[in-house]
Amino acid sequence: MSFATPPGWYPDAGTPGTERWWDGTAWTAHTRPPAAVQHEPVRQPYAPQSFGPPVPPPPARGGSRTRVLAIALSGLLVLGAATAAFLLLGPDDSGTRTAPAPSTSDPAPTATASASATPSGEGGPDGDPAVLVDQLNGITLTVPDGWEKAKNTPDDAPTIRTAVSYDCPGTGASFCYRGTVSTRTARAGKTGPKAVAEADITAAADRAYEEDILGQRTHGGITSHKVLKAEPVAVAGRTGYLVRWQVVTAKGPGGVVQSVAFPSEAGSGTPVIVRLAFDADRPELPVSLMDTITRSIRPIGDSATSGGVGASIGP
Residue 304 confidence (pLDDT) above 90 = no
pLDDT band, residue 157 (cuts 50/70/90) = very high
> pTM (2 decimals)?
0.59
> Are residues 170 and 252 in contact, defined by beta-carbon separation less than 8 angstroms?
yes
- Summarize pLDDT for 158-213 with one digit per residue, the tens: 999 999 999 999 887 688 999 999 999 998 777 799 999 999 999 999 999 999 88
DSSP assignment letter at 114: -
Q: Taking residues 128-155, what's their average pLDDT?
A: 92
Residue 222 confidence (pLDDT) above 90 = yes
- Tell me which amino acid residue 217 is: R
| Residues sharing a CB contact under 8 Å with residue 249, sequence separation 6 or more, in sequence order | 169, 170, 209, 219, 220, 221, 222, 223, 255
In the three-class reduction of DSSP (H, G, I as helix; E, B as strand; rest coil), residue 13 is classed as: coil
The predicted pLDDT at position 301 comes to 85
C-alpha to C-alpha distance for 290 and 244, rounded to whole angstroms: 10
- Summarize pLDDT for 86-96 with one digit per residue, the tens: 444 444 444 44
**194, 200, 234, 307 from 260: Cα distances, Å:** 9, 9, 10, 13
C-alpha triplet 204, 212, 271: angle, nearest 5° = 30
C-alpha triplet 165, 169, 145: angle, nearest 5° = 25
- Summarize pLDDT for 65-121 with one digit per residue, the tens: 444 444 444 555 545 555 544 444 444 444 444 444 444 444 443 333 333 333 333
